[in-house]
Amino acid sequence: MEVRLRVDPVACDGFGHCAELAPELISLDEWGYPIILGESIPKQFRGVAEMAVNQCPRKALFLERVATPTTTPTTR
Amino acid sequence: MTDLAPPLSSQRLLAGTDHGQRLNYEQHRATHGDLLLPARKQVHQWRTTMLDQIATAGLTGRGGGGFPTARKLQSGVNGRRRPLMVINVMEGEPAAKKDSVLACFAPHLILDGAEVLATLTHAVSIAVAVARDNPAALHSLELALSERKAARHTPFDVALVAPPGRYVAGEESALAHWLDGARAVPTFRATKPSKLTIKSRPGVIDNAETSADLALIARRGPEWFRSGGLGDACGTTLATLSGNVEEPGVFEVPLGTPLRNVIALARPQGPILGALLGGYGGTFVGPAALDAPYSQSGLRPYGSSPGAGVIVAFDGSSCGVAETARIARWTANESAGQCGPCVFGLPALASELELLANGERVSGIQERILSHLEVINGRGACAHPDGVVRLVRSAFAVFANDFQAHAQGVRCPRAGAPSVLALPENSGEIEWK
């Protein structure tokens, strides 16, 4: 079972805590909103990911279990 | 949207509407025949048969997504709670008029289709949503409902509702949100396609033209419907033609008709070099696509699709960079203002395109635009920012020479040329309720 990070972009207010806590998994765009790096979270970063999720002041970050390791994001 | 020219070609959906004739209930039945809905005992069997027929007909959603209608309905039919059926006549695309034309001239076809859909999904009631800045469509549908009442034809409760007329307000999650008593803004859904909820019931939303098609399929069967299209394309469709043409308007055409022949219906002012297809979140296509069949499969090789039926034909008299910048600014202003990448990304993108269009030499501007496209894509709750990205990317491909010349500071020979685009005032002060 693979796990990946997702952002609820409506809830996100660009506090940026997530990128500080998990720079291996999240970067910020020039306006301070998170960009999730990569598809699934490598095992060694699962703990960091959970911490980032728990620390989000807007509860905008969440973990999602994906059955297949490489699902392509939908474009429409 | 208030002064609609009458539709010009009439075949199936627009049968009987020549010369701007609005079909009242009696005329509608004389033109199309009666719609027979199943008796209570036969409903179950009818649903199975009807779903099969819709699949065989090859009907795809006409609101922009182009998803197979039978597959979409399958999920609406199997729910545990009875759903609310919603007919989407919002038509937020400024260059689209086809749903308004249907509503103004053949409103009963939309309402018949709504009854077919409501029977299929076992809906408790029907809501028909028309943008509140579209009084002509609202009036015609209101009249149609009273005509049906007078004829004692009221198998379902039908409510005509008027959400705010904003670009993104017709997006299905925004519409569901508004019907649920909240603002008409898109909502974030972790999984797509996901179930919509309206007043604790499942919501099933279908486009007005899709609904009208179902009214015809229920009467005449799937083979008849398919025969309206050319090649592997099924049925006819409504296209709204504008741009460098003498007779802009809504035309009913067989899907699969070569794009060039579709555009010819509106009498181009000169040789056409390409078109904007789908809507303002659609795609520009160049000369090579003009011979492609106007259908999903025909346009796929050009990265395009009929979308919401918008066709803006252009003859090269206006500047491609300037037109792209105009759409980028307009769509940036239509953001619901919820997601960072859309709120900040789209205005940034629009400003860069405007700099380029105005011939200001800013080093690395093309690269900055491309990197912004990358950053914005796929990061909003709805597909609004993705649509802008798709549009700008297609512009880069189709107007490659224009973009190159602008980036090199070559004086644009078409600077200040009038735009071919219909760009209404942005809705400005936010009215979302």
pLDDT tens digit at each of 433 positions of chain B: 334 554 445 489 999 998 789 999 999 999 999 999 999 999 999 999 999 999 999 999 999 989 999 999 987 666 789 999 999 999 999 999 999 999 999 999 999 999 999 999 999 999 999 999 999 999 999 999 999 999 999 999 999 999 999 999 999 999 999 999 999 999 999 887 678 999 999 999 999 999 999 999 999 999 999 999 998 999 999 999 999 999 999 999 999 999 999 999 999 999 999 999 999 999 999 999 999 999 999 999 999 999 999 999 999 999 999 999 999 999 999 999 999 999 999 999 999 999 999 988 888 999 999 999 999 999 999 999 999 999 999 999 999 999 999 999 888 999 889 999 988 887 666 677 8
pLDDT for the residue numbered B385:
98
b (16+ CB within 10 A) / e for B355-368:
bbbebeeeeebbeb
Q: Taking all residues of chain A, what is their mean pLDDT, rounded to a whole number?
A: 90
Residue A62 in contact with partner chain B when CB distance is under 8 A: yes
Mean pLDDT along residues A24-36: 97
CATH class of B18-226: alpha beta
- Structural class in CATH, domain B320-407: mainly alpha
Tell me where in chain B the CATH 1.20.1440.230 domain(s) lie. Answer: 320-407
**How many residue pairs bridge chain A and chain B with CB atoms within 8 Å of each other?**
50
Domain membership flag for residue A17? yes
**Predicted pLDDT at B191:** 81
Whole domain around residue A26: which residue ranges? 2-66
> Measured between CA atoms, how close is A44 to chain B, in angstroms?
25
Taking the whole predicted model, whether its pTM rises above 0.90 is answered as yes
Is residue B401 packed enough to be buried (19+ CB in 10 Å), middle (13-18) or exposed (0-12)?
Answer: exposed
Instruction: Return residue ranges of chain B for CATH 3.40.50.11540.
Output: 18-226
Partner residue facing A9 (CB), from B65, B192, B381: B381
Q: Quote the CA–CA distance of B268 and B245 in Å, as a whole number.
A: 4
| Three-state DSSP class for residue B88 | strand
Question: Is the Cβ–Cβ distance between A9 and B380 less than 8 Å?
Answer: yes
Residue A50 lies in a domain: yes
The predicted complex's ipTM stands at: 0.88
* H or E segment and range at residue B331: helix B320-333
| Closest approach of A18 to chain B, Cα-based (Å) | 15
Identify the CATH number of the domain in which residue A19 sits: 3.30.70.20
> Has residue A7 been placed in a domain?
yes
The pLDDT score that the predictor gives to residue B379 is 96
Q: Which two tokens stand for residue B43?
A: 């409903």
Query: Does a structural domain hold residue A75?
Result: no
Look at residue A74 and tell me if it is in a domain: no
What are the backbone angles phi and psi of residue B50, rounded to the nearest 5°? -65, -45
CATH class label, B236-314: alpha beta
- Is residue A41 one of the residues assigned to a domain? yes
Q: Contact, B285 vs B314, CB < 8 A? A: no
Cα–Cα distance measured from residue B410 to residue A46, given in angstroms and rounded to the nearest whole number: 53
Q: Is the pLDDT score of A70 beyond 60?
A: no
What pLDDT, on the 0 to 100 scale, is given for residue B303?
A: 97
Judging contacts by C-beta atoms under 8 Å, the chain A residues touching residue B379 are: 7, 9, 33, 35
A59 and chain B: CB distance < 8 Å anywhere?
A: no
Intervals of CATH 3.10.20.600 along chain B: 236-314
Per-residue pLDDT, B6: 45
Reading the block at residue B271, the tokens are 């040789």
Please check whether residue A39 lies inside any domain of the structure: yes
When divided into structural domains, chain A yields a total of: 1
Calculate the dihedral angle through the C-alpha atoms of A9, A13, A14, A16, rounding to the nearest 10 degrees.
-110
- A30 is a domain residue: yes
